[in-house]
Amino acid sequence: MTAERVEYDEFGLFHENAEEFGLPYDRPPVVRREWVEVAPDRRLSALVWQEAPPELVLLHGGAQNAHTWDTVALALGRPLVAVDLPGHGHSDGHGDPGPGESQIDADAADVAQALRHLAPDAGAVVGMSLGGITTIALAARAPELVRRMVLVDVLPGIKGERARHIIDFVDRPPTFASLDELLELTMQFNPTRSRSSLRRGILHNAEQRDDGSWVWRWARHRGPMAERGVLDPKVAEGLWRALAASAAPVLLTRGMRDDSVLRDDDEEALRRRRPDATVVHVAGAGHSVQGDTPVELASIIEDFVFGG
C-alpha cells in the first residue's frame, strides 16, 4: 500500500520559523532558488534572499542544506545567498579533486564558481561545520570572495570521537518507510528541538519517493564522512595553514553544550595560529548553532560583519 503523499511548498514555511522564534512577520520574504553551472552538466543551487546585491554568503554543514539558515536569514533581514553545497540539497554531486587536492578543495572550487556569479561582493562568508571547512579552503583558493570569515562550531582537525554522534546519524540507512519514522529518528538525535522545527527541516532536506518512502537528499551522493577529508589529518594541517595565512578577519562561534564538536584545546589551537581571531561562546547551542539559537547567531554575525 502506497503512503499518502505529503504536500511540500519550499517557500511556504517561513511563517513557522518566524513564529517559533518570535520574529516579526507581516509578509513572506522575497526568496528565489537559482542554479549556477560549475562544470559541464553539473550545477550548484542556492537560495537568494532579497533583490539587492548579497551582503553575506551562508554555507551549511554536512547532511544539511541551504534551508538550515532560514531563521538566521529572517532575523538578519539582509540580502544574502545560502548555498546548497555539492552533493547536498538541490545541487548536483561532487566534482573530482585535481592532483594533490582533497574533496574539500574541489567543493571550494565549485562554491567559488557559484559565488562569482551570485555574490561576488559579499562582506563575509559564514560556514557551519563542513561549510566552515569549505570556507577556509575557499579563502585559500579565492581570497577576494572571503572578506570576513565566520566559522560556526568548527575548526580544522575535528576529533572523530567528538563527532561520533553526528557520523553515526549521517551514516544510517538512507531510506525510511514514512515521514513519521524519519521524524522520530530525528527527534531522538535532536531532543532539544521542537517537533515542528524538525518536521520542517525534514521536508526541506528529504524527498518522498513514488512508493511513499523517504530518502535524504544528500544520501543520493553520500560517502563516508572520512572520505570527504573532514577527518584527514593531512587535510586538516593544510586547512590550518590556510586559516593562518588568510587576511580575512575570523570569528569562531562555538556552541557550548556537550553535543558540540569543539573543546577548549581546539579554541587554543585557533588562538595560537590566529591570535587576532574573535571567539564567541553560545551557552544554549550545540553543534548546530544556527538551529539551536538562530536569533542569537544572527546578532553575532551582524555585530562582527557590520559593526552592530
- pLDDT over 70, % of the chain: 95
Q: Looking at the domain 14-162+224-306, which fold is it?
A: Rossmann fold (3.40.50)
E strand map for 115-195:
124-128, 149-152, 175-176
153 classed as catalytic: yes
List, for residues 24-51, the tens digit of each pLDDT value.
999 999 999 999 999 999 999 999 999 9
206-208 β-sheet, strand order: 175-176, 214-216, 206-208
283: Cα separation from own chain's centroid: 20
Active site residue 258: no
Closest alpha carbon to 100 in 264, 238, 226: 238
Highest mean pLDDT among 1-5, 141-145, 218-222: 141-145
DSSP H or E run through 53 = none
3-state helix/strand/coil string of 157-179: CCCCCCCHHHHHHHCCCCEECCH
Q: What confidence category does residue 1 fall into, taking pLDDT thresholds of 50, 70 and 90?
A: very low
Residue 231: per-residue pLDDT = 64
**222 compared with 226, residue with greater pLDDT:** 222
* 94 carries an active-site annotation: no
pLDDT at residue 226 in the model: 41
Residues 158 and 231 sit within 8 Å (Cβ to Cβ) = yes
- Of 153, 259, 266, 292, the catalytic one is 153
Residues 70-96 pLDDT 10s: 999 999 999 999 999 999 999 999 999
Each domain of the chain, given as residue ranges in start order, spans 14-162+224-306
Asked if residue 227 has pLDDT above 50, the reply is no
C-alpha cell at 3: 503512503
Strand partners, 176: 214
Mean of the pLDDT values across residues 7-19?
Answer: 97
Mean pLDDT of 111-119: 98
Choosing from 102, 287, 288, 292, which is the catalytic residue? 287
Residue 162 and residue 171: Cα distance in Å, rounded?
Answer: 16
Count CB-CB contacts under 10 A for residue 143: 14
Q: Which of 91, 129, 246, 260 is catalytic?
A: 129
What integer pLDDT is reported at residue 172 of this predicted model?
78
pLDDT higher than threshold 80 for residue 228: no
pTM over 0.85, yes/no: yes
The amino acid present at 184, given as its one-letter code, is E
- Residue 307: Cβ within 10 Å count: 6
CB 198 within 8 A of CB 186: yes
Mean pLDDT of the chain: 93
Residue 187 class from Cβ within 10 Å (0-12 exposed, 13-18 middle, 19+ buried)? middle
Please report the pLDDT score of residue 2 as a whole number: 57
**Given a cut of 80, is residue 110 above it in pLDDT?**
yes
Q: What is the pLDDT of residue 222?
A: 64
- Within 194-263, where are the H helices? 195-205, 233-245
Q: Determine the average pLDDT of the residues in 95-119.
A: 95
237/229: higher pLDDT: 237
pLDDT beyond 80 at 3: no
Element (H, E) at 145: none
Rounded-to-integer distance, Cα 22 and Cα 236, Å: 39
**Ordered DSSP codes for 249-271:** -EEEEEE-STTSS--HHHHHHHH
Work out the number of other CB atoms within 10 angstroms of the CB of residue 7.
7
What's the rounded Cα separation, in Å, for the pair 248 and 198? 34
